[in-house]
């Protein structure tokens, strides 16, 4: 009863920002992302009668505390669905440098769900797997698929219609993403805590929600037509709206540092010079820059020269979950 799976992280172009149900993770809005190669998690799950409790090993170290609890509770869901009560050993390797500012929870829970369900003998459709993965970490449900994926928020209270669906495979469009890693790191509000505070207290939150349907239909059109300007403009504006909601929260907060804003301005300056580039930012200070292959050299060079930037990690569209 052992299986191994690999999953890549993803970057949201239309952000998931808020839950309507925290325990089974149901979102208040649909979101859309691009799965990225280069950043991934490989996970083996072994269920056995020999184990007297779950064990979680990450990058060759035994993990305890909150991270262990989230993994063990997720294994409970897998056991529940399979009607089995065996404990498991989970062995994960992360190729998602935390410093690159990508949450490893997306690739982590997607790989865990895929390996865990296979190890316990369940054969799931992509939709079922995505709906299960969602309950580990919302954004992870999009990492089941390669390329562009939409997490449809759904309407049912039991979450049965809240899962991701593929929009276009990685081969559809070679859209590139540069992860700009900043040297400064400050105390951070997790995405989980940040979205909760925003939903509960920000008067701007309703405005955010109202803007989603138009952003979503426009970006889907842009992806279909491979219209870089359309996709970039919608993604950048959507990111700014998400971050604007945090300033209205009580207490107010922002994920941006001074260098975050310098990078944003540099991207706007590139556009002024006729080099198409757009940015997006998740629940942290690092910036991801969207660009096209022909501009890779100038994009990388320009970003690297910004004071306060520690590293640039380039990435292409990646594949969905695979079994090893």
Q: Residues 3, 5, 7, 12: which binds ligand DP6 (CB under 6 A)?
A: 12
Residue 84 in 3-state DSSP? coil
How far out from the chain centre does Cα 294 lie? Answer: 26
In the complex, minimum distance from the CB of residue 84 to ligand DP6, in angstroms, rounded to a whole number: 25
Residue numbers 23-62 binding ligand DP6 by CB under 6 A: 25, 31
Burial (CB < 10 A; 0-12, 13-18, 19+), residue 305, is exposed
Q: How far is CA 186 from CA 47, 104, 200, 217, in A?
A: 39, 18, 24, 36
Q: Are 58 and 70 in contact (CB under 8 A)?
A: no
Residue numbers 229-258 binding ligand DP6 by CB under 6 A: none
In the complex, minimum distance from the CB of residue 196 to ligand DP6, in angstroms, rounded to a whole number: 8
Site pattern 260..289 for ligand DP6 (x: CB under 6 A): ----------------------xx------
- Give the residue closest to ligand DP6 by C-beta: 138
Alpha helix positions (H), 83-225: 104-119, 126-134, 191-201, 205-225
* Stretch near ligand DP6 under the rule CB under 6 A, chosen from 75-83, 136-144, 155-163, 290-298: 136-144
In the complex, minimum distance from the CB of residue 9 to ligand DP6, in angstroms, rounded to a whole number: 9
Which residue is listed with tokens 């490893």?
104
Q: Residues 38, 116, 138, 166: which binds ligand DP6 (CB under 6 A)?
A: 138
Rounded-to-10 torsion of CA 37, 148, 111, 106? 90
Compute the distance between CA of residue 92 and CA of residue 45 in angstroms, rounded to an integer: 9
By beta-carbon proximity to ligand DP6, the closer residue of 166 and 270 is: 166
In the complex, minimum distance from the CB of residue 194 to ligand DP6, in angstroms, rounded to a whole number: 8
Q: Residues 191, 259, 260, 315: which binds ligand DP6 (CB under 6 A)?
A: 191
Tell me if 105 contacts ligand DP6 by CB under 6 A: yes
By beta-carbon proximity to ligand DP6, the closer residue of 130 and 191 is: 191
Compute the distance between CA of residue 136 and CA of residue 133 in angstroms, rounded to an integer: 5
* Residues written for the chain: 324
* Stretch near ligand DP6 under the rule CB under 6 A, chosen from 73-81, 132-140, 200-208, 213-221: 132-140
Q: Are 122 and 82 in contact (CB under 8 A)?
A: yes
Structure tokens at 142: 């999009």
Q: Are 143 and 129 in contact (CB under 8 A)?
A: no
By beta-carbon proximity to ligand DP6, the closer residue of 105 and 286 is: 105
Residue numbers 146-175 binding ligand DP6 by CB under 6 A: none
* Stretch near ligand DP6 under the rule CB under 6 A, chosen from 8-16, 84-92, 296-304, 313-321: 8-16
Compute the distance between CA of residue 17 and CA of residue 138 in angstroms, rounded to an integer: 10
List residues near ligand DP6 by CB under 6 A.
12, 15-16, 25, 31, 103, 105, 137-139, 191-192, 282-283
């Amino acid at each position: 009863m052992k299986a191994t799976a690999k999953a890549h992280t993803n970057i949201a172009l239309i952000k998931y920002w808020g839950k309507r149900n925290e325990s089974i993770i149901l979102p208040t809005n649909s979101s859309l992302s691009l799965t990225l190669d280069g950043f991934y998690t490989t996970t083996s799950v072994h269920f056995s009668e020999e184990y007297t409790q779950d064990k979680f090993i990450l990058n060759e170290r035994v993990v305890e505390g909150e991270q262990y609890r989230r993994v063990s509770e997720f294994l409970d869901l897998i056991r529940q669905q399979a009607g089995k009560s065996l404990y498991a050993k989970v062995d994960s390797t992360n190729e998602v440098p935390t410093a690159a500012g990508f949450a490893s929870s997306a690739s982590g829970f997607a790989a865990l769900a895929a390996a865990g369900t296979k190890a316990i003998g369940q054969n799931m459709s992509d939709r079922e797997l995505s709906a299960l993965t969602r309950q580990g970490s919302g954004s992870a449900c999009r990492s089941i698929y390669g390329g562009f994926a939409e997490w449809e928020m759904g309407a049912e209270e039991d979450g049965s219609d809240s899962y991701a669906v593929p929009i276009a495979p990685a081969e559809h469009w070679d859209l590139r993403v540069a992860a700009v890693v900043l040297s400064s790191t400050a105390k951070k509000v997790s995405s989980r805590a940040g979205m909760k505070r925003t939903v509960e207290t920000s008067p701007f939150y309703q405005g955010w929600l109202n803007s989603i349907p138009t952003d979503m239909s426009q970006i889907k059109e842009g992806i279909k037509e491979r219209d870089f300007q359309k996709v970039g403009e919608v993604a950048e504006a959507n990111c700014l709206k998400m971050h604007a909601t945090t300033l209205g929260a009580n207490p107010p907060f922002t994920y941006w540092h001074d260098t975050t804003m310098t990078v944003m301005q540099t991207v706007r300056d590139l556009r002024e010079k006729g080099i198409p580039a757009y940015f997006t930012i998740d629940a942290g200070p690092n910036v991801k820059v969207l660009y096209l292959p022909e501009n890779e050299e100038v994009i990388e060079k320009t970003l690297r020269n910004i004071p306060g930037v520690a590293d640039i990690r380039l990435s292409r569209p990646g594949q969905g979950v695979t079994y090893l």
